[in-house]
Amino acid sequence: MHDPEAMIDDQRPDRLLTTLEHLLSIEAIQVEPAFQQAAQLISEALYAEKVDIFFYKPAIHSLRALGTNDSPMSRHEKALALDQLPIANRGRIVEVFLTGTPFLSGQIDQDSEELLGIRAPEPDGLGVMSLIAASIKVRGERCGVLVAASSMHEFFTPQDLRFLEAAARWIGMMMHRAELVEQQTREAVKQGRRLAAEELLTIMAHDLRNYMTPLRGRLDLLKRRAQRLQRSEDLRDIEVSITTLMRLNRLIGSLLDVARIDQGLFTLNLQPFNLMDIIKETVPSFSTRDTPIEVEGPEEVILSADSDRLRQVIENLLANAAKYATKQTPILIDVKLEHQNDGMWVIVSISNQGPAIPEDQLAHLFQPFVAGSSSQGLGLGLYLARSIAQAHHGQLVVTSQGTNITQFTLSLPLDYEEGIERIDLLTT
């Protein structure tokens, strides 16, 4: 039993301030040990027999004590399983969590709204007579309750409750900091794995490229021989092999591009050209009877850019649109010139009808090595497309609507404009 005279000592304000300073010095490297230490400090400052730091656990819809001081009442609390409070059972601590209103009572043993296990005398209950509680918030949302209890009537004062509220705010900040540290740790591990994978893939890509040139030379030799001997079946097989080899070469190029981007070695060859020519040359490779591609835009859009890189962007976007487009529906390419505050821009929109992209996937769509569940690729195309757009001081964004329309929009600045006569093109 605590000495009641301790409640009114003249040094109480200094003692509470010192306790707050000690709380601020706790390193929240591991949450539960830090909360155990905090609960002990708070109990000593308030001369409380029991201090609990409850946090809400959605999986069990209950408040669970992550930090508790070491005392007979606290040990008895665990024995009675009162360190876990189901929300459905209500009680004053749950009430503080649900409402956010601080609570102070010096006659809790006479409070019919309190749980019997807390107010009943030992050994059936904890024998709590005085109780104070304050809600804990993380990022502005209530997530727990800080509680102090005593077996003496009228033990706590309003000043004690104000101190408890200040301590609860600190606990919320500590929990937030711990969550950030945990998130940063996960991101660091994820980044480390990604860098290791990229390094391995880059080495493999360099090695594979060493074999590509002689292999292509051998296939070209076989192709000429098949043509000379008029061996049509062999010629078809060779053409398929060359096409596969070209795809493999593009994949290797994408892997090397990822490495160049990460190392800051990604360069552009800027030359004036007509963007519409690139689009019209690329469309036939992806347009089919089931999925025609319709193009609408100016006759000419002259810009200073890397034509090979922008061709790569258009190819990646059309390949993605063709892969997910619903059959018998067209892919639409719309090219517009638009005046903005910083000058003239060209806006290229590529849209298709098909399944909407899930919300959680949209947030990571442009990250490297992130592919859709039905994709068989490495998830590099959209990452490289956005990186190329950004290298041109432009941007690439995506919207996926509930009406099953997915649209990628490429925006690029123009140095100058020429020939903006509007025509409609239809390529099938």
Tens-place pLDDT, residues 167-224: 898 888 888 777 777 677 777 777 776 666 666 666 666 666 666 778 888 888 888 8
> For the chain, give me the number of helices (H) and strands (E)?
11, 14
Q: What is the pLDDT of residue 420?
A: 37
Same domain, 42 and 159: yes
Q: Point out the domain boundary residue: 159, 184, 209.
A: 184
Query: Which pLDDT score, from 0 to 100, does residue 208 have?
Result: 67
329 within domain boundaries: yes
Q: Amino acid identity of 288? A: T
**What's the pTM value of the predicted model, to 2 decimals?**
0.46
Are 162 and 244 in the same domain? no
Is the residue at 157 inside a domain? yes
Say how many domains are in the chain: 3
Name the most confidently modeled range: 84-88, 177-181, 258-262, 396-400: 84-88
Contact 113, 92 (CB under 8 A): yes
Q: Are residues 114 and 204 in the same domain?
A: no
The 10s digit of each residue's pLDDT in 36-66 is: 888 988 998 899 999 999 999 999 999 999 8
Query: Of 318 and 383, which is predicted with more confidence?
Result: 318
Share of the chain above pLDDT 70, in %: 77
CA 312, CA 392: separation in Å to the nearest integer?
13
Reply yes or no: is the peptide bond before residue 123 cis, omega within 30 of 0. yes
Domain identity same for 103 and 10: yes
The verdict on 88 and 166 lying in the same domain is: yes
Q: What is the pLDDT of residue 4?
A: 44
* Confidence (pLDDT) at 242: 82
Distance CA 29, CA 161 (A): 28
Average pLDDT score, the chain = 81
296 and 223 belong to one structural domain: no
Domain match, 392 and 369 both: yes
Q: Which carries the bigger pLDDT value, residue 148 or residue 392?
A: 148
pLDDT score of 6 more than 70: no
Are 281 and 251 contained in the same domain?
A: no
Does the structure show a pLDDT above 50 at 317? Answer: yes
- In this structure, are 53 and 147 located in the same domain? yes
Sorting pLDDT into bands at 50, 70 and 90, what band is 290? confident
Neighbouring residues of 42: CB distance < 8 A, sequence distance ≥ 6: 19, 23, 48, 51, 69, 146, 148, 164, 167
Say whether both 423 and 292 belong to one domain. Answer: yes
Domain hosting 206: range is 195-262
Output the pLDDT for position 172: 87
Does a structural domain hold residue 373? yes
Is 258 in the same domain as 276? no
Whether 383 is in a domain gets the answer yes
In a domain, 34, yes or no: yes
- Any idea what the CATH number is for the domain that residue 99 is in? 3.30.450.40
Averaged over 98-118, what is the pLDDT? Answer: 95
Query: Final residue of a domain: which of 235, 262, 289?
Result: 262
Residue 332: pLDDT over 90: yes
Give the pLDDT mean for 290-319. Answer: 89
pLDDT of res. 110: 93
Contacts of 294 (CB under 8 A, 6+ apart): 330, 331, 332, 333, 425, 426, 427
Angstrom distance (rounded) from CA 85 to CA 98: 13
One domain for residues 149 and 65: yes
211 is a domain residue = yes
What percent of the chain lies above the pLDDT cut of 90? 37
Query: Does the residue 190 lie in any domain?
Result: no
Instruction: Give me the CATH number covering residue 282.
Output: 3.30.565.10
Confidence check: pLDDT of 276 > 90? yes
Rounded CA-CA distance 296/256 in Å is: 34
Domain boundary among 262, 285, 318: 262
pLDDT, one tens digit per residue, over 333-343 is: 999 999 888 78
Q: Could you tell me if residue 189 is inside a domain?
A: no
